[in-house]
Every structure is written in C-alpha cells, then in structure tokens.
Amino acid sequence: MQGSLGLLGLLLLISLSSLKAQQHTDSIRLNQVGFYPHGPKRAVVLGAKPGKFFIVTADLHHTVYTGYLRTTPGKKAFVADFSAFQAAGTYSVQVPGIGLSHPFQVRGQVHAEVARAALKSYYFQRASTALPPRYAGQWSRSAGHPDTAVLVHPSAASVARPSGTVLHSPRGWYDAGDYNKYVVNSGITLGTLLALYEDFPAYCERLRTNIPESTNQLPDVLDESLWNLRWLLSMQDPHDGGVYHKLTNASFDAMVMPAAARSPRYLVQKSTAATLDFAAVMAQASRITRRFAAQVPGLADSCLRAATSAWQWAEAHPQLHYRQAEINRKAAPVISTGEYGDEDLSDEALWAATELYITTGQAAYFEAMQPALRQAPAVPSWGQVQALAFYTLARFRPQLPTHTQQELKFVDQQLLALADTLVAGGAQRPYQTPMGHRLSDFNWGSNANAANQGVVLIQAFRLSGNRQYLRAALDNLDYLLGRNATGYSFVTGFGSKPPQFPHHRPSAADNVVAPVPGLLVGGPNPGRQDGCQYPSQQPDQAYVDQLCSYASNEVAINWNAPLVYLSSALEALADNLDAATRRSGKSQHKPGGQVTRKP
C-alpha cells in the first residue's frame, strides 16, 4: 500500500515538475494569438539581461530560430524581434533565465477568428430575441427585453406623446455589460461597422458569423448592423424628427440573465447629440442599403427620410444637451444609467452633415460642414466623432466635384498628420506601440483607444500606401492581444490569458464557465471609478479581471466595433504587410537573428 502510494507520489512529482518546466511565463509579452508568416513579429521581455532568445516548437523539441534581445531606450525592457522567422506552426519564445512565452501561431489569416468572433459578439448582445444553440452554442439563452411597451418618461413628454405613453422599440444591441440601449453609443458603433463595409466590401462578403440571417444575400456585417439600425429608427419621434437620447431602465438591472430583467423601460429626453449621430448613421445606411434594394426594399428611402428629418430637428435645436442630473431634479423616476453626455456638438454636426452630403450631393450640407471641417481630427470615441466624417470624405473624395477638392485636401493631410503623431516615438515606448503615445490614452475604455488608433492608421495606409502605418496598426492589435503592460489578451476567448470575469451580465449569470467570446474589455484605467481592488495604479497596468470592475473590465459595443474594423482590415490587407517585410529584407541572415532549423 505504502509502496504503491509512493510510486503514485513519484509519478505525480515527475508530471508536476515537467508541467512546471513547461509553464509559461508572464514576463514575455506578445500577441498570444499569433503572427502573419511574412509580417513583423515582436515580443517584449521583462526582467531580462542582454543575450540570446530562441523560438521553439510547441513540443519544445526544436529550436527553430535564434536571435539577440534588443534593449528599448530607457532599458525598461528587451525586444525579441523574430520577424525574419516565417515558417507556419505553433511556437513559443524562450529566454534563458526568464522562461517560455505563451504559445502563438505563425500562419496566414491568423486574426480571422478574432475578427469573426468580434463581429459575432453583437449577435450575443441582441435584445428582444432568443439565441438558440444553433447560433449561440453553449451561450444560448432566452429572449429578454421585448421593449414592446416602453414608457415615455416625463423628460420626453410632448403634446403628441404625453408622459406615460406606451411605445414600441424592440431589437437593438445591449450597450455593454448593462441592458440599456443608448443612441449616442449606437451611433459611433454603427458608423464604424458600416465604415468597415464601405472600405472593405469584398472582405465583408466573406466574413460569415453563423447568425440567423447568414443565408440571405446580405453580408453578415450588414445583417447584424440592421438589427440595431431597425431599433434605432424607432427612437425617432415621427412627429418632429427628434431622437430620444436612450431607452433605459431607471437604474441598472441586477446581475441576471436578460429574460430575468423585467424593470420598466423608458424613453428619455431627446437630445441634439443623439439626433445628429442618428442622422449621420441613417444617411450612411441609406447609401449602403440602396445597393441591396431587392433584399431590403424601401429601407434606403426610409433611412434617408429619417436622416433628413433628424437633421432638420437638430438645426432647430442645436444645443439641447442631455444632462441627467438636471433632468433628475425635475422629473421622476430618477434615471441613474449611463449618461453619454456631451457638451461640444461641433463634431457630431460635422459628421451628420458629411454623411448627408455624401449620400445626397446637396450643396447645403457641404456648407453646413464648414467651419468644423477645418479642425484637426482626434482619435474617435463616443463623444468625439469628427474622424468618422474624415474617413467618409477620404473614401469618397475622388468622386466628389472639382470645386470641393481643394478644401478636402485638408482632410487627407490631417488624417496623415494624426497618424504621424501616433507612430512617432513608438520605438521608445516599452511595448513598442502607438498605444500609450499619451498618458490620456489610458482612461475608461482605453482598449477602444488602441483599436481606434489602429483604425486611424489603416485610414492613413489607405490614403498613402505607406506600410509603416499598417505595421503600426498591427502593433496596436498586438497590444490588445497581449503585448501590453498587463500581460492579458483583452479579447474574451482569445489567447492563453484572456479575461475570465468581464463585467457583462450574461457572462456573469449564465452558469457557463467561459465568458461570451469575442468581447473586448475596457482595459487599463487609472481612474478606477468602480472602487474595486486593482493590482496596480500605474496608468498602463490599472486593470483587474474581476466582475466588479466596470471601469476596467466591462465590455461595450463601441469598444468592439474598432476591434472588428482593425482585425478585419488587417486580414484584408495582410499581403501588404508581407511585401513590406520582404522588401525590408527577407534574409534569413538578418542582423540579430538566424533561422536555426526548419521544424
């Protein structure tokens, strides 16, 4: 008895120690999903000394590449650059004295599944419908929030629709970890997803996500967008064209499944921000759905009518801000859900005017675009959408009338200038990314800044053909998938160390161990407004994978959209990355590294 226990113990010890020998260190930070065969490949190594690093096969039997660590300025970290290694397979980086990195793949279409899952996540966010196992797998669930009897809140009361009027406003996507539906945030989300379709239509035709509409003639990204767009149409008051700011509970639902959340829902005050964002998206959707008149008859016209009347309402009410505290002083019930308040609407007005101009060609909209057109754009966020107007102008400029060309040159120049500020100094930063170019990159939803910077860089590549922008865009995807100061891959279900406990009600309440996949969490946020325990307060490390952390670990539709765009665009453009690497020397004798042996 004793002898056999001893043997068992010995066996256990042997297997534990070989497990330990193979344990992956957190000190080597890299994209945990992988790399394109001919693309750039970098890992950042913490706590290392100068010396060699190795690329080893997953079974640890072969060393396939040997390189030298390069120090970063400030000597805070070392970079292992193995771009010259191009053979497909599964590998780890090994650094003597440090250990073995998380495994990664080298292969073509290495981010295809990330892109697909990031888009599919919107299906999981659908309100008012059941998600059957056929489409949702282990995350199938019953329908929640029918939104067929929504109440007009006193703040939204009008003669035609007095307080308490019951309205129909089903479908749409849940905003985030909560179950409310906010027009402003839907605006930038749809604008970004529709921009992906307009910039990469052929790629979008191939991007299939196994949703109920996958078998129809529309690309899935459009079908998914229509789920939210049809809800959005119902947020407009047909009597005057104004758009309600949000459809919301009075306070956030408990951490329960959608079907178990039954609180009354309200349409609150109309706002200029919501109405302008609505106008922009409807104008954009109108020109896109016009190409599919056979599949969605009449929709293009409905969208354009909606956009036009929204624009007119906003012209008549240019500064009607949604200020929740003010409303709560006057009206009941008190509303305590997300505010999405914005006091500067010049960018929303520019965006709406631009989309309407591109769709209709009417000179009045071109005039309305002045003078905001002359302002330098910023990386987009829910409250700052000027860049979305610039993306649209850059896309359509070649088809616009000659008299506009001089003025619109500014757009291209400014987008390139913005991209240049993102690229500048990247090599000096510890993680070698545009992300972190300013300390203010790290705020609530910082990961969306990384993704949106990536979108700016893709735009700059499209305008200039300069591959430096494309590589910088990939740097930010590498950041999101693990080459960052936390060591997490920030997309649920991807990489070896992804978030397990996102602030996402269905993931918390569904009794499934794995969270809903394809969701980008908010990321490092030194503001720590949730009051949870964080392992670090450093701006780039202030992240905690805990359910309580809505300020760093929530998910949101406006954060996922630039991830969908960035990962899809890189998939669509990956050949250009290849050529760039080959041009800069395909040599297996590149300084600093050598291919040791084919696996």
Active site residues: 178, 503, 545, 554
**Could you tell me the CA-to-CA distances from 143 to 66, 171, 498 in Å, in that order?**
54, 10, 28
Contacts 24+ apart (CB under 8 A), 296-301: 296/218, 296/226, 299/226
Burial class (CB in 10 A: 0-12, 13-18, 19+), 88: middle
Q: Which of residues 231-250 bind ligand G3I (CB under 6 A)?
A: none
Check: CB of residue 242 under 8 Å from CB of residue 313: yes
Q: Is 554 in the site for ligand 9MR (CB under 6 A)?
A: yes
Q: Is 184 in the site for ligand 9MR (CB under 6 A)?
A: no
Tell which one of 178, 237, 240, 540 touches ligand G3I (CB under 6 A).
Answer: 178
Q: Is 336 in the site for ligand G3I (CB under 6 A)?
A: no
Closer residue to ligand G3I (CB): 213 or 339: 339
520 contact partners, CB below 8 Å, separation of at least 6: 118, 447, 448, 451, 480, 490, 491, 555, 559, 560, 563
Q: Minimum Å distance from CB 194 to ligand G3I? A: 20
Closer residue to ligand 9MR (CB): 58 or 256: 256
Burial class (CB in 10 A: 0-12, 13-18, 19+), 254: exposed
- Which of ligand G3I, ligand 9MR, none is residue 444 near (CB under 5 to 8 Å by kind)? ligand G3I
Q: What are the phi and psi torsion angles at 126 (to 5°)?
A: -65, 130
Q: Which of residues 437-456 bind ligand G3I (CB under 6 A)?
A: 444-445
Tell which one of 300, 550, 562, 567 touches ligand G3I (CB under 6 A).
Answer: 550
Closer residue to ligand 9MR (CB): 454 or 506: 506
Q: Is 224 in the site for ligand G3I (CB under 6 A)?
A: no
- Which of ligand 9MR, ligand G3I, none is residue 342 near (CB under 5 to 8 Å by kind)? none
Q: Which helix (H) or strand (E) holds 21?
A: helix 2-21
Q: Minimum Å distance from CB 245 to ligand 9MR? A: 15
- Which of ligand 9MR, ligand G3I, none is residue 347 near (CB under 5 to 8 Å by kind)? none
56 contact partners, CB below 8 Å, separation of at least 6: 62, 63, 64, 91, 92, 93, 94, 100
Closer residue to ligand G3I (CB): 185 or 308: 185
Cα separation, 547 vs 182, whole angstroms: 22
Q: Is 523 in the site for ligand G3I (CB under 6 A)?
A: no
Closest CA to 517 of 104, 219, 116: 116
Q: Minimum Å distance from CB 518 to ligand G3I? A: 17
What is the size of the binding site for ligand G3I (CB under 6 A)? 12
Q: Is 176 in the site for ligand 9MR (CB under 6 A)?
A: yes
Q: Percent helix, strand, coil in the chain (nearest 5)?
A: 45, 10, 45
Q: Is 35 in the site for ligand 9MR (CB under 6 A)?
A: no
**Residues 216-255: x where in contact with ligand 9MR by CB under 6 A, - otherwise, as a string:** ------------------------------------x---
Closer residue to ligand G3I (CB): 150 or 176: 176
Q: Which of residues 322-341 bind ligand 9MR (CB under 6 A)?
A: 338
Q: Minimum Å distance from CB 335 to ligand 9MR? A: 12
Tell which one of 177, 377, 436, 517 touches ligand 9MR (CB under 6 A).
Answer: 177
Cα separation, 177 vs 124, whole angstroms: 11
Tell which one of 81, 175, 224, 240 touches ligand G3I (CB under 6 A).
Answer: 175
Cα separation, 343 vs 352, whole angstroms: 17
C-beta nearest to ligand G3I: residue? 338
Tell which one of 81, 147, 178, 237 touches ligand 9MR (CB under 6 A).
Answer: 178
Residue 172, classed as helix, strand or coil, is: coil
Can you give the C-alpha Rg of the chain in angstroms?
25
Residue 455, classed as helix, strand or coil, is: helix
226 contact partners, CB below 8 Å, separation of at least 6: 218, 296, 299
**Could you tell me the CA-to-CA distances from 349 to 53, 184, 370, 377, 523 in Å, in that order?**
53, 13, 10, 14, 30
- Which of ligand 9MR, ligand G3I, none is residue 201 near (CB under 5 to 8 Å by kind)? none
Closer residue to ligand G3I (CB): 392 or 453: 453
Cα separation, 105 vs 34, whole angstroms: 4
Tell which one of 315, 339, 420, 510 touches ligand G3I (CB under 6 A).
Answer: 339
**Could you tell me the CA-to-CA distances from 85 to 42, 67, 145, 472, 599 in Å, in that order?**
11, 10, 51, 19, 11
Check: CB of residue 208 under 8 Å from CB of residue 224: no
DSSP-derived secondary structure letter, 538? S
Q: Is 556 in the site for ligand G3I (CB under 6 A)?
A: yes
DSSP-derived secondary structure letter, 24? B
Closer residue to ligand 9MR (CB): 514 or 532: 532
491: number of Cβ within 10 Å: 29
Closer residue to ligand 9MR (CB): 431 or 559: 559
- Which of ligand G3I, ligand 9MR, none is residue 252 near (CB under 5 to 8 Å by kind)? ligand 9MR
- Applying CB under 6 A, the span of 85-93, 102-110, 170-178, 326-334 interacting with ligand 9MR comes to 170-178
Give the tokens for residue 543: 């992240």
Q: Is 554 in the site for ligand G3I (CB under 6 A)?
A: yes
Cα separation, 288 vs 392, whole angstroms: 13
Q: Which of residues 345-364 bind ligand 9MR (CB under 6 A)?
A: none
Closer residue to ligand G3I (CB): 231 or 550: 550
Residue 429, classed as helix, strand or coil, is: coil
Q: Minimum Å distance from CB 556 to ligand G3I? A: 4
Which residues bind to ligand 9MR, rule: CB under 6 A?
176-178, 252, 338, 550, 554
Contact residues for ligand G3I (CB under 6 A)?
175-176, 178, 338-339, 383, 444-445, 529, 550, 554, 556
